[in-house]
Amino acid sequence: MEIGVYISILIGTIFINNYVLSRILGLCPFLGVSSKLDSALGMGLAVIFVMTLTSFITYPIYKFVLIPFRITYLMTIVFILVIASLVQLVEMVIEKFSPALYQALGIFLPLITTNCAVLGVAVLNITSGFADPQSHMGLLKSVVQGFGGGVGFTLALLIMAGIRERLDLADVPENLKGAPITFIIAGLLALAFFGFSGMKF
């Protein structure tokens, strides 16, 4: 077991190649749900859950269905349909078994289908070569990458929500309110996250 590989995937997706601040994925929820800490946390948890599950399911589909039948060009269609039905299924299961959790996450789940970070992680798992025949433990690597991506997204979302809650008290020029000031903060955060890019394992 080379545990180091998994740790470096995890650190890499959370800090060095943070999905939001470095790869620029999942900006719609990042803008839309980052005005309050509570809802940011709910959205973050839902994304971690769905991204991990998506990695767990799309990887075997690619490796054991699409490759043997030589229909890898259908990847985009298959993945987006899998993600959409997965989100629907998760929503129904949570609603049935845990009304409390559904109360907390329910409204965020439908939004996740159009979160490009989720489809992004499914495609990145494939383009990082985890599904190649010579790659060992590809499923575990994919799941770790999905989980890390979700955690990185949540981290960025929480930092942004914390800043924006304080920003309510600040005197922002009228035309900068909302999206423009959020993008300026995101730019500063992305600069700060540059600091991680020197890390090596």
Partner 1 sequence: MKYWQEFIKGVWKRNPQLVVGLGFCPTLAVSTSVSNALWMTIAATGVLIGSNALISLIRRIVPSHLRIPIFITIIASFVTMTDLFLGAFQPEVYKSLGIFIPLIVVNCIILGRAEEFAQKNGVLVSILDGFGMGLGFGLTIFVLAVVRESLGANRLFGYVLIPGMEPAGAMALAPGAFFTLAFMLWAMRSINARKKGR
**At closest approach, how far in Å is the CB of 3 from partner 1?**
28
CA distances from 124 to 62, 96, 103, 193 (A): 12, 32, 31, 21
Residue whose CB is less far from partner 1, 23 or 101: 23
Q: Does 92 bind partner 1 (CB under 8 A)?
A: no
What dihedral do alpha carbons 67, 118, 192, 156 form, nearest 10°? -150
Which residue from 25, 33, 46, 51 is in contact with partner 1, where contact means CB under 8 A? 25
124 binds partner 1 (CB under 8 A): yes
Q: How far is CA 22 from CA 30, 45, 86, 191, in A?
A: 13, 20, 27, 9
The reply to whether 201 sits near partner 1 by the rule CB under 8 A is no
Residue 168 neighbours by CB under 8 Å, 6+ apart: none
Binding mask 125-164 for partner 1 (x = CB under 8 A): --x-------------------------------------
Nearer to partner 1, 80 or 104 (CB): 80
Report the C-alpha gap between 9 and 163 in whole angstroms. Answer: 28
Does residue 31 bind partner 1 (CB under 8 A)? yes
Fill in the per-residue mask, 160 to 179: x = in contact with partner 1 (CB under 8 A), - = not in contact.
--------------xxx--x
Q: Which 8-state DSSP code applies to residue 12? A: I
Q: Is 34 helix (H, G, I), strand (E, B) or coil?
A: coil
**Residues belonging to the chain:** 201
Applying CB under 8 A, the residues found at the interface with partner 1 are: 21-28, 31, 73-77, 79-81, 84, 114-116, 119-120, 123-124, 127, 174-176, 179-184, 186-188, 190-191, 194
